[in-house]
Amino acid sequence: MDKITGVIAKTHFVNTQKKTTAADKFQQTLDKAAARETAGTAANQPVGSLGEIASVMFNQVKTPTENIMNKTINLLNLLDNYSKDMENPENTLKDLEPLIDEINNNALELNLEAGDTLEKDDRLKDIATQTAITASVEYMKFKRGDYV
């Protein structure tokens, strides 16, 4: 015992081993799991069997204005195709009937949707309504026999 401090002298042993932290233990566990996973899948699958992961397709949310605009453009394209088909002398009226029926159905749908969702003074509503009316007039002319 030391007479000045009153402490008994002890021999201190220094720990020469490195203390393992939680991060080290986690890394060791992760490495072991990865080694097991690699060993298990390598035995079961050939090397070239890896493929791409397909991406998930999300439906885009469209505003009513966008929807009406797209329907108007689609109807205009159908009317343009109808006009070109009418000019072609090889096409008979019987050949054009499915197209004019599709035009009429799209015109009715566009007219209803534009009337229900757009404001009275909306410029798009005017364009959509005029396009639908033009398509309906062509349908009536076709069904009435104006092109016979």
- The whole-model pTM stands at 0.57
pLDDT in tens, the chain (148 residues): 566 666 666 655 555 555 667 777 778 887 888 787 766 555 555 555 556 777 777 676 668 788 999 999 999 999 999 999 999 999 999 999 999 999 999 999 999 998 888 887 788 989 999 999 999 999 999 999 888 7
Question: Can you give the residue ranges of every domain in the chain?
Answer: 64-144
The torsion angles phi and psi of 55, rounded to 5 degrees, stand at: -80, 155
Q: Which residue has the tokens 């009337």?
A: 115
